[in-house]
């Protein structure tokens, strides 16, 4: 059965805007951001998702753990971060359409934190917010069949995957298929689906924007529950996705340095060897003089090795 929701004018407008921004990102060659930006955004994602769940580690402490440095903090909080690092390092390997892959992600994310990591619940559960019962999840006997229906929709329905990722996020939280870790898993799996839609989402800190709008996030989940359909939550999440793309465009709306261009070009060259003409063909907006200066500075900084002279000159990245 298809999950209940409506395609509103607001949703159509957000989808159109997101598509335009993805085009801008590709045109500006930001679909493969510099390594440092990707690392920073990955840390923001891990830190934000865990802070929502009550983790106490700071951004700097998460960074230290990512760099295998020693951190003094509660063991559970450290375990949560280490598990999240392992999970997000493998995010592109998960199959968004597979329940088995979902369970494997949960096993990694919750390893050492719960006894049943990676296993669907067979008990009834309720979600408590403060002193109130916020949500009664479906019976444990229904979890597998409800997930099968949800994954069938995700894989086979004609709806645009961008919208389906938001619908999935809400329905996953409604089903609450695991005894613990459902919040972080719902956010993770929407990212897994979005990466399938466009690889740029592997580098965007969507979850940090959810954290910044945490009260609204939980409020829209509750409203969707009360209405019995996910439209309001889909609208909210599409706005968050759009804002994350705009943030990328704004943060990179600066002139790249020669060193930045050399780093970006490295990911484009398969064997690491190229000519100035290859470099200019990729960076069409550059003058010949600027390209020559980039390459000269890279050689002097031991980023590149120059081979040959004049028309036979080639450059090779130093490993």
Same fold, 9-251 and 258-317: no
Dihedrals phi, psi of 72, to nearest 5 degrees: -95, 115
Rounded distance between C-alpha atoms, residue 200 and residue 178, angstroms: 29
192-207 as b/e: b if 16+ CB within 10 A: bbbbbbbebbbbbbbb
- pLDDT at position 251 over 90: no
Closest C-alpha to 104, from 192, 12, 166: 192
Q: Model confidence at 205, in pLDDT bands (50, 70, 90)?
A: confident
> For the segment 54-94, what is each residue's pLDDT rounded down to a tens digit?
989 999 999 999 899 999 999 999 999 999 999 999 999 99
CB hemisphere CA count around 44 (13 angstroms) = 18
pLDDT digits (tens, 9 = 90+) for 107-139: 999 999 998 999 999 887 766 666 666 667 788
CATH architecture, domain 258-317: Orthogonal Bundle (1.10)
The C-alpha atoms of residue 283 and residue 287 are separated, in whole angstroms, by: 9
Domain boundaries, the chain: 9-251, 258-317
What element of type H or E holds 158? none
Residue 79 CB: number of other CB atoms within 10 A? 14
Query: Containing H/E element for 154?
Result: helix 143-156
Residue 237 has pLDDT above 90, yes or no: yes
Cα within 13 Å of Cα(204), Cβ side: 29
Please answer whether residues 102 and 185 qualify as being in contact, where contact means their C-beta atoms are separated by less than 8 angstroms.
yes
Beta bridge partners, 316, equal 273, 305
CATH of domain 9-251: 1.10.3290.10
What's residue 253's pLDDT?
A: 52
């Amino acid at each position: 059965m298809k999950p209940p929701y409506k395609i509103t004018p607001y949703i159509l407008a957000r989808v159109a805007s997101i598509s335009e921004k993805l085009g801008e990102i590709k045109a500006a060659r930001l679909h493969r951001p510099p390594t440092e930006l990707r690392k920073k955004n990955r840390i923001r994602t891990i830190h934000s998702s865990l802070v929502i769940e009550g983790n106490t580690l700071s951004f700097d402490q998460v960074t230290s753990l990512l760099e295998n440095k020693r951190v003094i903090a509660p063991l559970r909080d450290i375990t949560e971060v280490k598990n999240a690092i392992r999970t997000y390092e493998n995010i592109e390997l998960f199959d968004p359409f597979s329940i088995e892959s979902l369970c494997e992600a949960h096993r990694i994310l919750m390893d050492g934190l719960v006894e049943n990591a990676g296993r669907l619940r067979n008990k009834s559960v309720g979600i408590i917010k403060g002193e109130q019962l916020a949500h009664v999840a479906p019976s444990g006997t229904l979890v597998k069949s409800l997930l099968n229906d949800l994954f069938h929709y995700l894989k086979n329905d004609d709806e645009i995957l961008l919208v389906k990722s938001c619908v999935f996020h809400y329905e996953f939280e409604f089903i609450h298929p695991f005894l613990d870790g459902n919040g972080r898993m719902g956010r993770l799996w929407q990212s897994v689906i979005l990466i399938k839609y466009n690889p740029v989402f592997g580098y965007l800190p969507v979850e940090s924007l959810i954290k910044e709008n945490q009260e609204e996030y939980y409020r829209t989940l509750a409203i969707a529950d009360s209405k019995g359909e996910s439209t309001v939550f889909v609208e909210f999440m599409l706005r968050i996705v759009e804002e994350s793309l705009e943030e990328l465009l704004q943060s990179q709306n600066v002139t790249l340095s020669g060193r930045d261009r050399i780093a970006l070009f490295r990911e484009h060259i398969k064997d690491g060897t190229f000519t100035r003409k290859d470099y200019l063909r990729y960076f069409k907006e550059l003058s010949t003089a600027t390209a020559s200066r980039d390459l000269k500075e890279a050689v002097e900084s031991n980023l590149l090795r120059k081979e040959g002279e004049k028309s036979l000159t080639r450059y090779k990245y130093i490993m």
